[in-house]
Amino acid sequence: MIALSALTFDINGNQAFQTVSPNSQLKNLSRRVSRRATLDGNASIEDNGFSHSDRTFIIVLKNAEKASVDKLTELFKTYSLLLLSTDEGAFEVAPDTLSQKNDEVTIRLLANRILS
């Protein structure tokens, strides 16, 4: 189960989903790594560690009810930051895109920080 809500109180500003599509990407991790070629033919690798703020969450919902899609659309239009709750914890996220194609809704959220 995941939930998306406003950071401030809003009686209509929350939406929970019991099931999400297996096409969702909720556990992608990356490190802040860069590689530069050196003159001797090798490489110099700079590793600045891991940060949850580099994460992108992609949530795919199949057969979402119209009321749920309408509520998500309002969250996207109204708030620049939202609270995403997953089994990993709570994240402050910025809504990036919401797209709907046939019976599938795709939500892309950019992590700002982990809250718990």
Where do the structural domains in the chain lie, given as residue ranges?
2-114
Tell me the pLDDT tens digit for each residue of 23-67. 889 988 999 999 999 999 999 999 999 999 999 999 999 888 888
Domain 2-114: CATH architecture, name and number where available:
Beta Barrel (2.40)
The whole-number pLDDT of residue 13 equals 83
Mean pLDDT of the chain: 91
Strands 2-6 and 14-17: antiparallel
Q: What angle (nearest 5°) sits at the alpha carbon of residue 21, between those of residues 92 and 2? A: 30
Q: What is the pLDDT of residue 20?
A: 84
pTM of the model: 0.83
- When computed from its CA atoms, the radius of gyration of the chain, rounded to whole angstroms, is 17
